A and B are shown apart, each in its own frame.
Chain A
């Protein structure tokens, strides 16, 4: 069975400081990994997916299969980055069916 672990429930950094949100996964197959963000009183939004290797709002994430990690990074945090961040893994269950498994989330607070 697949599992996603986000070890930090809360993370605070100062504005302009680098930020890294950790995500580790366990899955025997080829993973598809995502980062979702939930700003206060807003819906869950897709931030990044590993297959596109894009940078959104200055965030990047690299899949490290050796360490089974998909950490989210940003070199200079902004106050508007304060939100709940979820790492998620899309795993094949049977046939073409897939299931999205979420980590428990990290609440990021960027201090002025």
Chain B
């Protein structure tokens, strides 16, 4: 079966712009989580969605937001981009917390 799909794979944006990243979970998985991976901070939890509701949110500013659609696909949005937002953004889907399957990520570069 298809894995977790993230689009786009790479993105270059300018400071101050906004960006939307997309994640399609494994079919049947209703939980989608987002993580930011950087060399300095490692893997940090952004938020988790389940059945179109945000269940959990990490310690990130309000510029980071997300949503989940009825088909479980999820998007995350970052507004007013800063240089420090440059990172690999990972999406993971889960079935009843039995482990999380990760996508390949979207590499965001802010210039």
- Seen from chain B, the residues whose Cβ lies within 8 Å of a Cβ on chain A are 33, 35, 42-45, 48, 50, 55-56, 58, 90, 92, 97-105
Query: Which chain A residue lies CB-closest to B3?
Result: A43
Q: Which residues of B contact A96 (CB under 8 A)?
A: 50, 55
How large, as a class, is the contact surface on chain A? 20 to 34
Q: Are B55 and A97 in contact (CB under 8 A)?
A: yes
Q: Which residues of A contact B55 (CB under 8 A)?
A: 93-97
Query: 20 A-B pairs, CB-CB below 8 angstroms?
Result: A43-B103, A44-B102, A46-B101, A49-B99, A86-B43, A90-B97, A93-B56, A94-B55, A97-B48, A97-B55, A98-B48, A99-B45, A99-B48, A99-B58, A100-B33, A102-B35, A102-B42, A104-B42, A105-B42, A105-B43
